[in-house]
Amino acid sequence: MLRTARRRTARRRTAGLAAAALSTLAVTALPTAAEAGTGSASGSATLLSSVDASGVQAAESYWTTARMAAAVPLDGPDVTTQGVAGALGLRAGVGAPAADTDAAPGGVAPSAGRTPLAGAPVVRGTRAPAVKVARPWTGAAGVTQRVGKVFFTRAGMPYVCSASSVDSRNASVVVTAGHCATEGGVPSAKFVFVPGYANGLRPFGTWAAQQLISTPEWSGGDPDSAAALNGDVAFAVLAPRNGRTLAATVGSFAISFSDTTSPVSVFGYPVSTRDDGETLKHCRGQRFADTAGTTDRGTNCVMAGGSSGGPWLAGFDPATGTGTVTSVVSFSYRDNPNALFGPVFGPSVQAAYTKASTAAVS
């Protein structure tokens, strides 16, 4: 359903089954135009919206500095471990690795009555495993210019999520969370991507979407169900600017559709009492399986609303800012707010990607 315009938290999910080691992480070859209909033999894709040149211009013109500043971080599915598991007839547990590095000293425990990822002050405790609070990214520009904010409207209200530029045949695709592109059957409007956003500045301009594409599981399902959460991914096909594509301007990350349990670096623009949403933040940790019923994977990281759709990078090299996108920030369980979850990029996600990658841009 369409969320109200109060500042909420971004729900995250990441998924998968098994154990492709980082050394065997397979990056999918760029699809051919002939594959565009369904994207892959075992998946399908949903075209959410398509705009012409006048729609592109209207979106670019709409997003003034003031409107971007007023945009509300969009929350994802409002779920609990017991709710998702119960709907599948399962008993929920929350899996987690023994420990992670780079955590706040003593770990982080949620304060009583804390809402999911609401950015409440850190409460020190002895809870294990250690949880990381997202920190500012001050490293290589290679990641900074490929990650950015997406701004869009629903029912006239301005919202914001995170997204990243990924390799594609048309050099014009960003990946984000499905709930940033559509919810309740209503596609987002005036959708734009601002790579390298920082403190209100747009160093690489504003890029308007020509098409929004998602998975049928997310676009047509109950957003709080395990099936929908498994498909909470969307792709935007962006119009060129001044005759240049997005990837030619800022570069792009590799993207993979092979599940992996390798460590992950997560990036996004959270908004909370601790984060103003004006700078890129990141966490790094080990992945673990979601035991509440989805096929997503989790990582122990506190990152608030606005980070939905931010990339999960495997094989991340902090010296160059390069890595492979293997999931996106999707949700956190209300009863497990210190873990982010993101979908595994399976056949339906690959189908959506292929449709976006082979779309014509002009």
DSSP state of 306: T
CA distance 158 to 178: 17
CA distance 110 to 105: 14
Domain of residue 63, residue span: 22-357
pLDDT band at 99 (very low <50, low <70, confident <90, very high): very low
Q: What are the pLDDT digits (tens) for 236-257?
A: 999 999 999 999 999 999 999 9
16 pLDDT above the threshold of 60:
no
Q: How do 254-255 and 322-328 pair as beta strands? A: parallel
Q: Does the N-terminal peptide bond of residue 347 adopt cis geometry, omega within 30 degrees of 0?
A: no
Task: Tell me if 14 is assigned to some domain.
Answer: no
Q: What are the pLDDT digits (tens) for 306-324?
A: 999 999 999 999 999 999 9
Q: How do 147-154 and 157-166 pair as beta strands? A: antiparallel
Apex 336 CA angle, 331 and 338, nearest 5? 80
Task: Tell me if 5 is assigned to some domain.
Answer: no
Closest C-alpha among 174, 209, 188 to residue 59: 209
Domain count, the chain: 1
CA distance 265 to 280: 13
What is the domain-level CATH number for residue 82? 2.40.10.120
Structure tokens at 16: 């998968």
Task: Tell me if 12 is assigned to some domain.
Answer: no
Task: Tell me if 13 is assigned to some domain.
Answer: no
Task: Tell me if 196 is assigned to some domain.
Answer: yes
Task: Tell me if 129 is assigned to some domain.
Answer: yes
Task: Tell me if 16 is assigned to some domain.
Answer: no
Task: Tell me if 15 is assigned to some domain.
Answer: no
